[in-house]
Amino acid sequence: MFGYYQYYIHIKIEKAQRLLEEKDVSVKEAAYRLGFDDQYYFSRLFKNKTGFTPAEWKR
């Protein structure tokens, strides 16, 4: 199924999806809350895993 790293990323993306559904949490804030130093890396990873950018998911 998942290797350790892939499972870890899967969990982080699920948490990001929930965070982004909150109106007061920006994409940048969600990235930092989840431990990503680079918002752009977070956005690329999120899109790769979900098919949506974080901003698209937020809408």
Domain assignment of residue 47, given as a range: 4-58
Collapsing DSSP to helix, strand or coil, 34 comes out as: coil
CA–CA separation, 4 vs 1, rounded Å?
A: 10
CATH code: domain of residue 47: 1.10.10.60
CA–CA separation, 44 vs 24, rounded Å?
A: 22
State pLDDT tens for residues 3-56: 998 899 999 999 999 999 988 999 999 999 999 999 999 999 999 999 999 999
Mean pLDDT of the chain, nearest integer = 92
pTM of the model: 0.84
- Total tally of structural domains belonging to the chain: 1
